[in-house]
Amino acid sequence: MDIRRVELIDFRNYREACLELSPGVNVLVGENGQGKTNALEAMLIIAVGKSHRAHRDRDLIRWDSERSRISLEASTQYGDRRLALELGPEGRRAYANGVQVGRMTEFVGQVKVVLFAPEDLDLVKGSPRVRRRFLDTELGQLEPLYLHHLSLYNRALVQRNRWLKSSAGGAQDDVLAAFDEQLALHGAHVIQRRLRFLARLRAYAARIYGDIANGRESFALSYRSSIVGVEEGMSADDLGPILVRALAQNRAQDLRLGTTNLGPHRDDILLFLDGREVHTSASQGQQRTIALSLRLAEIDFMHEELGEYPVLLLDDVLSELDDLRQRNLVLSMSRKVQTVITTTSLNRLGQELAGDYRLFRVRSGIIAEERV
């Protein structure tokens, strides 16, 4: 899969910009605050339907405009794709090959990308919510059914919590039991797909971490469920009754606290270096290497799952890595994977790539290709 062309109109600090990418390595170089990250963000939004750093569409629209448009042309194993997303006061309008798409769930995932950004350090040191969002975003690109079950689970969760708050001390068991059935039905599918994803991601991430760190530490991960009895390899049919039973047993506590305390919305990923949990013990360099290994592992997983590679977006990733890790990262980047890298300085990167890349200079929202 390759992104051939990206056009931005009134997006962030861009008035109008066009980026024509090579199928190999592309480097966006410029000072901080010039718009390099904004270009990657635009590609991510087309792929997954949301930004990694903005919660409101208004924040994505240029300050002096009411509307914004992102257009993207890509080549996939299923043919060419022309995708566009318009943002404005009336909401979003998405288009695929010139035809308006009714729902974002039908638009998401037509182009696959993996983004590594400075914020990804939170995958290691942040809250469980960050790691759950990682699972939801990546599985959402791969499996429309995952988004379907996650959406229905979250809807039932909101309704159950609302009932718990309004009925504390006098809730009807039959009403809560009905909510529990819905949570268990959709939650079982969410957990089963997460377990399957992580079981396969684990091997890729461990190998990649070893390559980047030059074998200095061993990396492992596991899924921590908030529900006793959940194990890898279980089917959704196995998990459903376990969820129903756990929700029923925990009902009194949920009523007392006014919220649902068990389920996939409370689960986490545990990360280990040499058998020790890394949440508090890993150095900054180790944390960044773990986060990067998880992102690069997604590429191998997607290739195995889909039969083609996603596009890799690396946002200022090299600045926090020592020379050895930088070199090993560049060497580990498969030339089969289209890659877009942002950096403030070519220095080491230019040497490692040895001229085999396309270079763009970014200044004040203007992108210009330069000769290497």
CA atoms in the 13 A half-sphere facing the CB of 287: 18
Distances (CA, A) of 311 to 166, 294, 357: 47, 15, 15
Find where tokens 């051939």 sit: 4
Residues whose CB falls within 8 Å of the CB of residue 93, separated by 6 or more in sequence, listed in order: 85, 86, 100
Residues whose CB falls within 8 Å of the CB of residue 366, separated by 6 or more in sequence, listed in order: 17
What single-letter DSSP state applies at residue 228? T
CB 136 within 8 A of CB 108: no
Find where tokens 């995932």 sit: 109
Round to whole Å and give the CA distance between 151 and 148: 5
Round to whole Å and give the CA distance between 252 and 254: 5
Q: Is 31 known as a binding-site position?
A: yes
Q: Is 258 known as a binding-site position?
A: no
Q: Is 140 known as a binding-site position?
A: no
Round to whole Å and give the CA distance between 114 and 120: 12
Round to whole Å and give the CA distance between 142 and 365: 32
Round to whole Å and give the CA distance between 22 and 151: 36
CA atoms in the 13 A half-sphere facing the CB of 371: 0
Q: 226 is written with which tokens?
A: 């908030």
Find where tokens 């990694």 sit: 52
Q: Is 32 known as a binding-site position?
A: yes
Round to whole Å and give the CA distance between 251 and 175: 12
Rg (CA), the chain: 22
Round to whole Å and give the CA distance between 36 and 344: 9
Q: Is 37 known as a binding-site position?
A: yes
DSSP state string for 169-222: TT--HHHHHHHHHHHHHHHHHHHHHHHHHHHHHHHHHHHHHHHHTTTSS-EEEE
Q: Is 33 known as a binding-site position?
A: yes
Q: Is 34 known as a binding-site position?
A: yes
* Binding-site annotation: residue ranges: 30-37
Residue ranges for the known binding site for ATP are: 30-37
